[in-house]
């Protein structure tokens, strides 16, 4: 297979779409309940953890783009083959594909858990799983342009949820944020580490990069996307910290959704039901993009037809998702992937960049 990949003209995307892709894949399941997990480490300084994690994400994104720029139009699968050689490269690609599928399961199961807890306690997991998976199959067969469109509309159509922030503002007590820097630096860093599962998604850059129209502008839009996510998380964190008291926050599984519990509109009494159901639109781009990334991995490394691969993955994911059906199993799975995601999404880009740099130097030396 070739290292470089020139996308066909009909699949090329405008670069500004990258902003929507990055933002929509980052915001998804983590946003519903990240506050509690971070609070358990960093206490009232949790917002500092959010800022630190956000800054770190910008650095990682910077290195991801640096790596990609070394090769021109290519994706991570091509880089792997180039850096590690044919066989090891393919093996590493497989790990990456499994990582994408794992993230898919994490998102799917967490969402099903949320919808079962809040709205439909009696509807079985398999029913949700199969309906969402079929939707994903439909989207992924449509190709990258359909998926990017889904990301764009998911953001545009869910902006209204932000307006609900005004309601909890009436009950905030900013004394909860004081005194600043009471937690020591280790617990703040631990809190940042716990942001992993909420922040990841930006590594999709590795795969959508060759589809961008103007690759010089990628830096700008990728960072804008990440910055939008960070600002959103920071606002939510500050709001949550000042709205809930510490004891309350420790007991709330999904603080973001609980914030909506007090929103009361004249025509609809319980807005969080709408929000929970509407969340499908927010997580759909995540599912589509991860599935698409995995399918692209197979296509690039093994040169298979995509249709069969999509169905194979769908059936596989369906069975995995119905086995992980209780809160404790979901938590175990989350924690497991939290660790993996930290190494793959946050640490690996640095290693890959160094390896790619060395490889590049060596080839240029050989040529001379």
Using CB under 8 A, pick the residue from 66, 215, 220, 261 that binds another protein. 261
Written as six digits, the tokens of 113 are 């858990």
The three-class DSSP label of residue 212 is: strand
CA distance from start to end of the chain: 25
Least distance CB 248 / another protein (angstroms): 4
By CB under 8 A, tell whether 118 contacts another protein: yes
Our finding on whether 63 is near another protein (CB under 8 A) is no
Among 10, 251, 328, 368, binds another protein (CB under 8 A): 251
Return the closest-CA partner of residue 283 out of 155, 156, 163.
155
- Contact status: 214 vs another protein (CB under 8 A): no
209 DSSP β-pair partners? none
Please tell me the count of residues contacting another protein according to CB under 8 A.
Answer: 36
Site membership for another protein, residue 130 (CB under 8 A): yes
State whether residue 13 is helix, strand or coil: strand
**Among candidate residues 229, 194, 226, 233, the one with its CA nearest the CA of residue 58:** 226
Radius of gyration for the chain, computed over Cα atoms and rounded to the nearest angstrom: 21
We find the least distance from the C-beta atom of residue 9 to another protein, in angstroms, to be: 23
Within 8 A by CB and 6+ apart from 91, the residues are none
Cis peptide before 26 (omega within 30 of 0): no
Name which position in 8, 175, 216, 305 contacts another protein (CB under 8 A).
175
Q: Which residue's CB is nearer to another protein, number 249 or number 289?
A: 249
**Residue 319 lies near another protein (rule: CB under 8 A):** no
Smallest distance from the beta carbon of 69 to another protein, in angstroms?
A: 38
Region near another protein per CB under 8 A, out of 89-97, 144-152, 247-255, 324-332: 247-255
Q: What angle do CA 283, 54, 96 make, to 5 degrees?
A: 55
Among 88, 91, 123, 315, binds another protein (CB under 8 A): 123
User: Do residues 58 and 226 touch, judged by C-beta distance below 8 A?
Assistant: yes
Q: At what angle do helices 46-71 and 185-193 cross, to 10 degrees?
A: 50
Question: What is the closest distance, in whole angstroms, from the C-beta atom of residue 122 to another protein in the complex?
Answer: 6
Binding footprint of another protein on the chain (CB under 8 A)? 117-120, 122-123, 127, 130-131, 134-135, 137-138, 141, 171, 173, 175-179, 182, 243-248, 251, 258, 261-262, 264, 269-270, 272
């Amino acid at each position: 297979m070739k290292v470089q990949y020139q996308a066909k003209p009909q699949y090329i995307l405008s670069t500004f779409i990258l902003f929507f892709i990055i933002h929509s894949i980052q915001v998804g399941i983590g946003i519903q309940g990240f506050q509690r997990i971070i609070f358990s480490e960093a206490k009232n300084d949790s917002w500092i953890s959010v800022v630190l994690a956000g800054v770190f994400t910008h650095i990682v994104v910077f290195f991801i783009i640096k790596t990609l720029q070394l090769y021109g139009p290519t994706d991570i699968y091509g880089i792997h083959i180039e850096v590690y050689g044919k066989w090891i490269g393919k093996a590493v690609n497989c790990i990456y594909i499994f990582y994408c599928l794992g993230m898919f399961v994490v998102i799917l199961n967490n969402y099903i858990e949320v919808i079962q807890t809040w709205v439909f306690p009696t509807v079985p997991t398999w029913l949700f799983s199969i309906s969402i998976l079929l939707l994903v199959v439909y989207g992924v067969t449509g190709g990258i342009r359909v998926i990017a469109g889904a990301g764009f509309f998911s953001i545009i159509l869910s902006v209204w949820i932000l307006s609900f922030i005004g309601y909890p503002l009436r009950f905030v007590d900013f004394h909860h944020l004081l005194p600043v820097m009471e937690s020591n630096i280790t617990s703040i860093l631990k809190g940042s580490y716990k942001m992993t599962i909420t922040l990841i998604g930006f590594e999709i850059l590795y795969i959508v990069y060759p589809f961008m129209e103007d690759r010089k502008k990628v830096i700008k839009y990728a960072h804008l996307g990440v910055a939008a996510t960070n600002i959103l998380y920071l606002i939510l964190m500050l709001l949550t910290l000042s709205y809930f008291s510490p004891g309350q926050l420790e007991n709330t599984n999904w603080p973001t959704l609980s914030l909506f519990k007090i929103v009361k509109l004249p025509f609809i009494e319980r807005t969080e039901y709408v929000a929970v159901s509407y969340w499908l639109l927010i997580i759909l781009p995540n599912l589509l993009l991860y599935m698409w990334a995995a399918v692209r991995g197979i296509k690039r490394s093994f040169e298979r037809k995509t249709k069969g691969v999509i169905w194979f993955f769908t059936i596989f994911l369906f069975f995995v998702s119905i086995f992980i059906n209780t809160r404790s199993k979901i938590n175990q799975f989350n924690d497991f992937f939290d660790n993996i995601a930290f190494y793959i999404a946050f640490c690996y880009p640095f290693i890959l960049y160094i390896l790619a740099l060395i490889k590049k130097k060596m080839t240029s030396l050989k040529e001379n």
